[in-house]
Amino acid sequence: MRIALVAGETSGDMLGAGLIRSLKKRYPNATFEGIGGPLMQAQGMVSFVPMERLAVMGLVEVLGRLFELLKVRRDLIKRWRRDPPDVFIGIDAPDFNLTLEQKLRQAGIKTVHYVSPSVWAWRQKRVFKIEKAVDLMLTLFPFEARFYENHSVPVHLVGHHLADSIPLETPKKPAREKLGLDLQRPLVCLMPGSRSSEVSKLGHLFLDTARELLKHKPDLQFVIPAASVERRQQMEAVLQDYSDLPVSIVLGQSQTCMAASDVILLASGTATLEAMLLKRPMVVSYILAPLTFAIMKRLVTQEFISLPNLLAGREVVPELIQDKATVTNLISAILKRLDDKDTVNQLQQTFGFIHRQLKRNADEEAAEAIAELLNPSTK
């Protein structure tokens, strides 16, 4: 059994690693190839291209890498048409993977897309391309599965692996002890993103916010989990202008840093789901290139962008995006979550309810659905 996969960023690497583990239980002699990060490679996958080269977000930002991305995709299509795998699994990265899946499916290769694009929020007509591109869509959330069922696209709801791996209750003290942080002082976790472009746009903003927060609460401490060595080096360069801040940079260990925190200030993305499952109050922010934001604002039909709000169906965490992403606004939102215990308690109850809904043993669900696609008699 040869299984081809392409993941485009850190969150996809996490999903891919769990999926490979579960697939190996069913196919012990299977080989895995394509594009993946360090977690997928640790499970034995051969990555043809560094995953970092695919990690680009934004309509404008991708233009600078467009020719490289198109060449990578053409090379993969040629490789797998010439020597077809048993199945191709595209993990997220829809702008890259959906066209790849469509070309491979036309060549007779079974295709799976793991993690639905946000077709329910914007560019809904993409569902017609998805219908042509995939034999099976694997979704993480219930509202996504309902959308595909309504459009007659084969779908399987798997839940989210983070909901399986994160306990329903996670105390702060063990996490702080592990990181060597003060047990008594309040802690704010700063997470400006896993991409270079995100850190460039949010790094100074988050640190300016931290500096101003100290004027309101002088006993605050801060921690920054860096997603990679490159992001750590990038943040260390930014921090040279903030030598007065009581901040620690940690390589990896984002979940531990979040668990240790009283409040998390973070870029919109998968980390918001992780923070929700840890039941930690958060403030979500994001800044796109102005042209990208202008285009997206016209296309997006959903009121919210962060997963906690989408899953709750209402605003449970503040979203301070683009022009609203100011030091003043961030400070106000963070202070409320540091000081208002009633708000925090209500938030944690909501997060606990959503957590239980998403806890479905996702890695096994996804692997079982793929096995059923490859051999319908396995059920």
The answer to whether the CB of 45 falls within 8 A of the CB of 32 is: yes
pLDDT tens, 160-218?
888 999 999 999 999 999 999 999 999 999 999 888 888 888 999 999 999 999 999 99
- The C-alpha angle with vertex 57 and arms to 55 and 63, in degrees rounded to 5, equals 95
Question: Which domains are assigned to the chain?
Answer: 2-159+360-378 (3.40.50.2000), 172-358 (3.40.50.2000)
pLDDT tens, 23-46?
999 999 999 999 999 999 999 999
Tokens 């503040």, residue located = 318
On whether the pTM is more than 0.85, the answer is no
CA distances from residue 107 to 5, 110, 124 in whole angstroms, order as listed: 16, 9, 26
The answer to whether the CB of 251 falls within 8 A of the CB of 235 is: no
Q: Out of 60-74, 149-163, 248-262, which region has the weakest mean confidence (pLDDT)?
A: 60-74
Per DSSP, helices labelled H in the chain are 10-26, 38-42, 66-82, 94-106, 126-133, 142-150, 161-165, 172-179, 196-216, 229-239, 254-260, 270-277, 290-299, 307-312, 327-339, 341-358, 362-374
d(CA 79, CA 59): 28
Q: Residue 121 has which token pair? A: 């929020």
Sorted by sequence, the CB contacts under 8 Å of residue 37 that are 6+ apart come out as 7, 9, 10, 12, 13, 16, 47, 51, 52
